[in-house]
Structure 1
């Protein structure tokens, strides 16, 4: 039996103020990050709320890799302020922080819905039940999953992605592509999730470089926003795989952007997973849709890995962990620990090809 249910109301390519005009709320907790404040993006939301006469409080102490400490600070302010809803403006870190706050408030019996306004095209966090928080003491990323964290509303407003630096466009776009490819090939994939995933993959290949090379191209920003969101729908229902398990370790241990870590790892994981016939067949199906060389299943899977390597190069994404600036002796000393953590990561269970601890250690060796 295949079941698919969408839980988030999505507004794509629509002005944020028009959407907020439709929402009944007298008191918002507004979560954003220091960069959004610095470049004036958060002020646009504050101006809307002021015009509407809505009471709000701003929390902007969000880190690139949100920590348990920052979530605790936000929770203390929420308890004191007692808002009706959360507005979250920012990238995956901000959206994940807002969802984590909503989750912990829900555990105490208080429902606090999230309105997500992504400012990057990549994480898909605006439609998923996942949040990734960093335990700074142990330098480990902790994925949390709970359906109550899924935002009630997502606003995909291209106004908030028109000033993104190239590195953020690259990291976000390759993150979304990884979501879609892993969702298409995961254990939990079905007809509906694969339709979403395949659409996202094709849209990303068509629009990511356009957005990367010309951020003023509104159409490519709109399309990438939709593709990221659709990829989010797909992996929310189908799950992910070891690409994310490995990237969580690299990001947590060495403070590297999650999307970039995913992009570095992706060609290696495709080649590893291609030794499983069913996974290779799914890579072949993707390659066929992208009109890559795919006369056989083996050729199709190989073509997909090569196509991603070419895309990475054009986006300025490194081809191995060493090129990310990670010191070799430290990295190799941590491989046994990272492999153990990756095996226990929530995403590993979704990998169609069975993975052993030795496999995981070998992959960590290969990607360096």
Structure 2
């Protein structure tokens, strides 16, 4: 028996003002980062709350790769203000931070729901029970998964992605594509998750470059928000794979954007997993849906890897880790440690092909 349940209420192509006007509470904490305040997006949320006479407090100390320390600061501020709801406004780092705050609050018996307003089209964090927090002492990214972290509401308002710089569009979009491809191909993918994942893959290939080249293209922003969201739903139910494990390890040690790390690694992982024709079948199926050359399973899998490489190039994403500005000597020294970290990553168990630490060492060497 397969059970498929989507917990979060998703409002796509929505206006936050109309949704927040229905909010039944007296106090709200907004969790965000300083840039969201600077560009005026938080003012839009403030205006909506003021019209409903809702008191609010703002924590704007979210970091690009949220650390345990910054989550604790947010947690302390939320406890002091005692809101009934948390509104998270930002990219994956912000949404993960808010979800982590909810996670720790629940451990103490305090239940505060999260409303997620993503400002990027990439992480899908608005509909998942995952959060990735960085242990800065040991330079390790810690993926947390708990059903209680799932946001109650997700609002996909295209006005909140209209000011994104090209690099963020690229990193977020390729992150969403990685989610979708891994969700489709992972070891426990099923009929339901594959429908969501394939729809996301097709939507991203159709709309990501449009959004990247012209941020004023509202339709592209709306469709990318939907694609990112349903990719999140897919991997929430199916899991991911070693693409994320490897990216987590690189990001943890060298503090590079998660989405960009995923994109750099993706063609290599497709090829690694496709060395076995049985595991290559999933990539062939994706290539066929995208109408790429696929007269055989082998050709289809390779076509997908090439299509990702071309997309990366058009988005300005490097073809190898070395081009992300990482020192070769330091990187090589850390390969054994990163391989062990990746092997123990929560995402590795879902990979379509079983791996060992030597496989991962070889992958780290190849992607550099």
Q: TM-score, normalised by structure 2?
A: 0.99
Q: Is 1:106 the counterpart of 2:106 in the alignment?
A: yes
Paired residues for 1:37-48 under 5 Å: 37-48=37-48
TM-score, normalised relative to structure 1: 0.99
Q: 4+ runs of 1 displaced by more than 6 Å?
A: none
What is the aligned residue count?
368
Corresponding residue number in structure 2 for 1:115: 115
Deviation of residue 278 (structure 1)?
A: 2.8
The equivalent of 1:67 in structure 2 is 67
Following superposition of structure 1 onto structure 2, how do residues 171-320 of structure 1 map, counting pairs within 5 Å?
171-320=171-320
Unaligned runs of 5+ in 2: none
Q: Deviations over 1:49-103 (max 9, x none)?
A: 1121101110000100000001111111111111101000000000000000000
- What residue number does 1:353 align with? 353
Indicate the SS of the match to 1:117: strand
Distance in 1, matches of 2:117 and 2:50, equals 18
CA deviations over 1:336-358 (Å, ceiling 9, x no partner): 00000000000000002010110
CA deviation digits over 1:307-361, x for unaligned, max 9?
A: 0000000000000000000000000000000000000000000002010110000
Tell me the SS of whatever aligns to 2:363.
helix
User: Counterparts of 1:48-197 in structure 2 under 5 Å?
Assistant: 48-197=48-197
Residue by residue over 1:281-307, the C-alpha shift from the partner in whole angstroms, topping out at 9 and shown as x without a partner, is 000000000000001000000000000
Counterpart secondary structure, 1:134:
strand
Deviation readout 1:5-52 (Å, 9 max, x if unpaired): 000000000100101122211111110111101111111111111121
Secondary structure (helix, strand or coil) at the match of 2:326 reads: coil
Q: How does 1:18-33 map to 2 (within 5 A)?
A: 18-33=18-33
Residue-by-residue CA offset, 1:235-263 (whole Å, 9 max, x unaligned)? 00000000000000111111100000000
Gaps of at least 5 residues in structure 1 are: none
Q: Secondary structure at the match of 1:154?
A: strand
Q: In structure 1, how many angstroms separate the alpha carbons of the residues matched to 2:88 and 2:76?
A: 17
